Amino acid sequence: MSSLMENLHERAEELQAILDGITEPLVLIDPGFRVRRVNKATLEFSEEAEFPFVLGRKCFEVLYNRTAICPYCPMKDHHENEADFDAQFEGKGEIGREIFHVANNQKETLYLDFFPIRKDGSVVSIVEKISNITRLKEKEEENLRIRNLASLGIFISGVAHELNNPLTGMSLTLQNLMNNLSSMDPEFFKKRLEMIKEDLTRAAMIVLDVISFAKPDKLVTTNADIHETIMKAKDSVTWVYPVLSKNTEWEILSEPGTTFQFNPVKMERLFINLFKNSLQAYDYGEGKIRVEVRRTRNMMHIIVEDTAGGIPEDMLDKIFSPFFSKNKAGVGTGLGLSICHSIVREHSGELTVRSFDRKTRFKISLPLVQPKGA
């Protein structure tokens, strides 16, 4: 008997040595929320000197200095008179929680793992593992700040580049006018003024993109014609980008008089952005932009498709993010598709994208009647 007890004692010491070798706190908790076993890391975490000061006490008291069950505990609905944790772990393995914890007047971020210990089919105790992820979260936040600053730099560079083009065009045209005022033909003068007007329109569109992204207006809808809106957007794009759209074929599959409730100004901005993206993807080459309008019982579906090469699979989930652009550096602000997504969301609709067979297909689904309060 003595030999058996010595053997059990040695095994217990071995187990405790293994637990103490783990640098994260490990706590064995029974259905009465009492601490049954801990490792040395738990003593450091709870700022207790010896195991007897911890064992048998309530876990929430020892670990988190609380007088009642922690509000984030997955067993918070468990009554301490119940014999097991079956109700809390039914059909579940481990459970995780991320929490904020204050220690020595400093806020820490902890990740808690709860592992069920089963005996005869019942969860008779749990092991709680406490991981301090404060440094990891700080690193993530720092990386996020760096990414945001980088995105802001790309955005500013894109806006500056986009505005520089029309401003340079206006400057050169005005210089040309000033140098030839005395001998200028009226038709030539008129043509140059039209060029200035075109560049001003381009600059205004860029500013409108930035304003729309930064401060969206309250949505005001009316019963409008979606075919007319699409055609106006097409005309605007081909007028502002005549060279870019020179070799583009248009297929508009919609009928005049297709009316429903939407904001025509914002929807025109949406189509201008989608059409401009397609034109830029063709890069002055030949291509077709296909637009199809389909009406179902409660929804209006508009499909905008091009065959300019498609979008890589790893970019599809990023294209609606602000500042993201698949164009080469300095081309575009990266706001266009984000604005499109915002406009559709304002209309209580859905904007989806598919890329296949070198095609890109955007599908805009809008309710025929806007919900009250939208």
Q: Mind listing the pLDDT tens digit for each residue in 319-353? A: 665 444 554 443 343 455 777 888 898 899 999 98
Q: Six-digit token pair at 298?
A: 């409660």
pLDDT score recorded for residue 243: 80
Query: CA-CA distance, 87 to 81, in Å (whole number)?
Result: 13
pLDDT in tens, 134-146: 888 778 767 766 7
Whether 316 shows a pLDDT value over 70: the answer reads: no
pLDDT score recorded for residue 241: 80
pLDDT averaged over every residue in the chain: 82
pLDDT score recorded for residue 335: 53
Q: What is the mean pLDDT of residues 31-52?
A: 92
Q: What are the residue boundaries of the structural domains of the chain, listed by start?
A: 1-134, 217-373
Place of tokens 């801990």: 38
Percent of the chain clearing pLDDT 70 (strictly above) = 82
Q: Six-digit token pair at 329?
A: 């550096």
pLDDT score recorded for residue 211: 64
The β-bridge relationship of strands 287-295 and 248-253 is: parallel
Per CATH, the number for 217-373 is 3.30.565.10
pLDDT in tens, 183-202: 777 787 788 888 888 778 77
Query: What is 1-134's CATH topology?
Result: Beta-Lactamase (3.30.450)
Whether 370 shows a pLDDT value over 70: the answer reads: yes
pLDDT score recorded for residue 269: 85
DSSP states of 322-355: TT---SPTTS--S-HHHHHHHHHHHTT-EEEEEE
Q: Provide Rg for the chain, Cα atoms.
A: 33
